[in-house]
Amino acid sequence: MSLPTTFAIALPDWFDDWLADQPERFPAPEDRMRAAVELSRLNVERGTGGPFGALVTDERGRLVAAGVNRVEPDSCSSAHGEIVALSLAQARLGTYDLSQHGALELATSCEPCAMCLGAIPWSGIKRVLCGASKTDAEVTGFDEGERIEDWTGMLKRRGIEVVTGLLQDEAAAVLRDYARRGSRIYNAG
């Protein structure tokens, strides 16, 4: 019997063009969230995955890595935008513990699902910016899994600052557009 011994998640073909158009820095939290929402929107418009985007930046707002949801294209249930961005940041910096490179931040177009919430503390991220809410995703049809009610407090107790609702309307609009297009809600409850 032959079993797979490796797997890879690749960003879509359009990503390099997006990256070439980005500034050297995303100075304000709104700039970083705007980029995460744009990634989610492009992923929907180009039909290259689910309506979620994320980026990891350093303390000065410089892009370390970015990701979009690749669950369906790569047949991988863990290929959420946040996981892809965190994994690419870890690959780029050569460590599973991103805290070794300062107070890195994750900007994500939607609050983390249960899986991504679990990955955040272990990644070494020190700040999380969230756009759309868990409710926004669930109203669209996504099953975001169980989270403790005080998930932001749990992260804070672990030294991770959380900002929610940043550009929420713009981020939620991408989720609604995805559903309106009739795109598959791959993990509907």
Known catalytic residues? 82
What spatial distance separates the first Cα and last Cα of the chain, rounded to whole Å? 34
Q: How far apart are CA 44 and CA 102, in angstroms?
A: 32
What CA–CA distance (Å, rounded) separates 162 from 17? 30
In the β-sheet with 63-68, what is the strand arrangement from edge to edge? 63-68, 53-57, 105-110, 127-132, 161-163
List, as one string, the DSSP characters of 95-153: -S-GGGGSS-EEEEEE---HHHHHHHHHHT--EEEEEE-HHHHHHHTB------TTHHH
Q: How many CB atoms lie within 10 A of CB 131?
A: 30
